[in-house]
Structure 1
Amino acid sequence: MSNSLDPDRSLWHVIAIEVRRQRELHGLSETALARALDCNRSTVSRIENGLRRLSAKYAATLDELWQTRLLFTRLVAFANATDDGDWFTGLKDYEARATRIKMWELSVVPGLLQTPDYARAVLSAGLVSDVDRELEKRLSRQAAVFEKPKPPHISVILNWVVLEQPFGGPDVMRGQLARLLEVADLSNVSVRVLEKGAGDHMGVEGPFKLLTVDDRDIAYTDAPTRGRLILEPPDVQYLSVGFDRIGDIAATVRPSRALIEGTMETYQ
């Protein structure tokens, strides 16, 4: 995995490469460094491979351990302050480790809930150069969340447009809405719909998700060209309040199910 790191692309990649370089320079194994950081070896591996971002706490520990004169502390501070567009670094890992996921979607079914046919139609509608590759990534993200021994609690709010915006034709849409109903039957999942007449709401700013990972809340906002992981507590809280406000005006679970079932009947 470390071979895919590109220091010219991302400051987080610079950090990942430097952690490994310093560890090897000081003759430490991943296990030994994990003991110094009070974490497990897989956490060190994820950091060095760019799958998990180095936290400010770990950065301070490394600076003290290796006497690097606040190098890692400053790198992490700059990286957190910079939106470099490398949103996928860490997102899949965060999703797989999350104990709670909240999602608001404005126009399409969230990737974690998409059927293969629907996902292919959505990806094909964009400017994706390798649809098969991106589809494989999306399905692997789903498996990492839903197939682990203890799946997270998931709360989903869908804008009404999601149900009525067709992708891939009637058969694909019926299959996708059936998948939503199937997922909604799971004890750890709730799916609600924001109806057409709900009025003004802050959800028009765009889709986002909130994740609880290692007892810490983080967020991710989507965009046409790139997304962004949000780690700063005030920004995460802003989106958390937004999710609650959207939920206040969304239909409850049972009426939402009826809306999905009713829309399925229109795809003939």
Structure 2
Amino acid sequence: MYAREALDPSRSFWHFIAVHLRRYREAHGMSGQALATALDCDRSTVSRYESATLKIRPAHAEIVDRLWETNNMFANLIGFADRADEGDWLLSLAEFERRATRIRMWEFAVVPGLLQTSDYARAALLAGATNDLEADLDRRMSRKSAVFDRKDPPRITAFLGWAALQQLVGSREIMRAQVAHLVELSEFSHVSIRVLENEAGAHQGLEGPFMLLTVDHRDLAYIEATTRGCFLTDPFDVQEVEVRYESISDRAAPVAPSRAILQAELENLS
């Protein structure tokens, strides 16, 4: 998580916004609580805005533009930031996952990161382009812990393509432990794991993996690429991803049959 001292406005649009948000607030003699009151949010939200651990909402940017008469500067800046490909997506994803009340995901080739065991994650990371295996593994497991170890964990629905279960990642022992973990997770009341079988044929999920997160009562989408991801916040863009999600849901096996598929795969790996 970024501290204010670590912000680099020359590297990141979001850092630039965070730094100038604080500068404008202080220049107008406002405390963090006073700004929070004006935005109708918690003081901690303002603190996260100013440390770039939370991206300022468009509605809040419009308020500060009116409050400080900045001629839409902050609203324009977040528009640029949303379209920028900055590479700090993993930090943002972890923050959104930590605060989400609902997480919906689709993955066709591998088990999603939030559902991985540490051994499976290590094997998957070794096959990639990691520069620091232990640091990357710690980050992935920390993301998982932040979601599943909460007192109020989010509602999670995961659609898995059949290839994610068939693709051997690491040894058979690692894969068996991973599938056993999926079976265990599927028994949680707040987790649904459904499998899209090979017989489903071509479908919209072939366009790539994605995640839908409900944060602060609004939905956003995360599209994953090879080296980094992209967040979609525009309601029309998010709706397009939700349509893909519903299309996959129409083809995926229901919860109980999906659990049976997982159990069968577990037996095959024995």
TM class, shorter-chain normalised?
over 0.9
Q: Which residue is 2:245 aligned to?
A: 243
Of 204-213 and 92-101, deviating more is: 92-101
Following superposition of structure 1 onto structure 2, how do residues 149-164 of structure 1 map, counting pairs within 5 Å?
149-164=151-166
Q: Which residue is 1:99 aligned to?
A: 101
- The number of residue pairs the alignment matches comes to 268
| Aligned equivalent of 1:201, options 171, 181, 203 | 203
Of 60-69 and 124-133, deviating more is: 60-69
Of 16-25 and 207-216, deviating more is: 16-25
Tell me if 1:109 matches 2:111: yes
Looking at structure 1, the residues matched to 259 and 207 of structure 2 have their Cα atoms a distance apart, in angstroms, of 25
Deviation at 1:129, TM superposition (A): 0.7
Looking at structure 2, the residues matched to 260 and 221 of structure 1 have their Cα atoms a distance apart, in angstroms, of 26
| Aligned equivalent of 2:16, options 11, 14, 34 | 14
Q: CA RMSD in A?
A: 1.4
| Aligned equivalent of 2:259, options 238, 257, 260 | 257
Looking at structure 2, the residues matched to 89 and 234 of structure 1 have their Cα atoms a distance apart, in angstroms, of 24
TM-score normalised by L of structure 2: 0.94
Deviation at 1:134, TM superposition (A): 1.3
Instruction: Give the letter for the 1:17 counterpart.
Output: V
TM-score normalised by L of structure 1: 0.95
Q: Which residue is 1:31 aligned to?
A: 33
Of 231-240 and 28-37, deviating more is: 28-37
Looking at structure 1, the residues matched to 246 and 229 of structure 2 have their Cα atoms a distance apart, in angstroms, of 22
SS of the residue corresponding to residue 90 of structure 1 reads: helix
Runs of 4+ that moved beyond 6 A:
none
SS of the residue corresponding to residue 212 of structure 1 reads: strand
| Aligned equivalent of 1:128, options 130, 133, 141 | 130
Deviation at 1:59, TM superposition (A): 0.7
Structure 2: stretches of 5+ with no match in the other structure: none
Looking at structure 2, the residues matched to 170 and 73 of structure 1 have their Cα atoms a distance apart, in angstroms, of 51
Looking at structure 1, the residues matched to 257 and 202 of structure 2 have their Cα atoms a distance apart, in angstroms, of 20
Looking at structure 2, the residues matched to 109 and 25 of structure 1 have their Cα atoms a distance apart, in angstroms, of 49
Contact kept, 8 Å, 1:121 with 1:168, in 2: the verdict is yes
Looking at structure 1, the residues matched to 269 and 7 of structure 2 have their Cα atoms a distance apart, in angstroms, of 45
Looking at structure 2, the residues matched to 18 and 34 of structure 1 have their Cα atoms a distance apart, in angstroms, of 16
Q: Which residue is 1:221 aligned to?
A: 223
Structure 1: stretches of 5+ with no match in the other structure: none
Q: Taking every aligned residue pair, what percent have the same amino acid on both sides?
A: 50
SS of the residue corresponding to residue 193 of structure 2 reads: strand
Q: Which residue is 1:79 aligned to?
A: 81
